[in-house]
Structure 1
């Protein structure tokens, strides 16, 4: 299943995420995913595993032309020239010449001028053919409005926290009106651990409505949530380094949720964010230096 971005580039809707995947495990996870059938890998400079993603791609035996590679510029590399250099660091570690999608990792509300300059650098990279599409991550509607008022190209993708307990309907509606693909990180909710945030969070995987739907289809709760994303036109990038889970997360193309089931999952929304609030600056993270190699 593929999505067509607002510049005509096609992107596999389902990808493998590698956030919090230890470098020692990342190459094998990427290789396994690609050999399973995935053709979309999402990483980031701040994850510290771009080099291992590249190793996994080369070890998979899958031709580079068949793989959609997505990565992110971290805030400490924001600014026009710094972001151009951030691209150089990313492709150097990945061992590839062109990125399929390059996005800004955070809106960085306390240094938004640098964010705008960073996005202008993405526009330059797109014009030069060094990237095939550009976008953002963790941008809320005011961030998007401010960015688009000062730049030329509408982001192709906004990667945000989105799962049945945090559906973000207003943001999704804005994306649809602008032709921006909604890409869900933490798409199955309640699994990835974010130290220091949302200590009272509830595990979406244990929701009885989801377990009922899963039982009806003979699928896991995770598979039901991923199918929910895909049927509603979103991209999803579940993370795992476990070969069995990687395969399970990909086995979502042989069943279909009913309209009533989709509506029931939508109705689970608690407006409950498990990850960090993008409006709250976190200087201790934003000052992190991304290594050259």
Structure 2
């Protein structure tokens, strides 16, 4: 099915494929084209591991779409329905439904781990595609100047679909209608704060979490909320809604407090003790 002018319309001649993915094996099981009414059918038996997942894919306009995992051997109706969309490389209305930043405490190398999550909504009825790797991306945002070791985290885009070059994060994967999540992380030197983060598009919900209790976040309408706890770690939480284009959030985290190693303290104590003994000896000789 695909969106029509007023109702969903059947799509004939689309290749559909039944897949099985399990701990013992994975791969396609069967394939067939949809009929004139956009219908498909497969006869299959569940075999092997009970943890195996079965689902159907359909490719339309060079983009592949999937059903939800098939919970039973006999599946029909909504769980088996696949909605496909026509494609475009032109402009489509998109919205940043949410942006989340998580800044961790400084590690032993003097770096802070930063995780960013975007919830990107394609508000049209067509899938946005990039004509090629060197063409305009389907989504892009800024990467801090000194960001290191950038990598894609678990979300709706694979590592192959995202690039980190020239101070920008670029997505080249298709962006179908609906909301998709982009998650990535990188490391920043502790000395790069305060960090200014401009909004390159309006943001419905903006959230910043910082692990450093002495840190502050200002600008872009961000206001502090009750602290959040995750994995035994506590984060100060700042939240804003309806953030306008070009608003700037400033994340100010002071450098880590210097701590002295036990070895240094021992050497320091010995040195001070030696100086005191030397001073006492000189005073004794004067007598």
Q: Same fold (TM over 0.5)?
A: no
- Identify the structure with bigger relative contact order (alpha carbons < 8 Å, sequence gap 6+): 1
Q: Normalising to structure 2: TM-score of the pair?
A: 0.21
* TM-score in terms of structure 1 length: 0.20
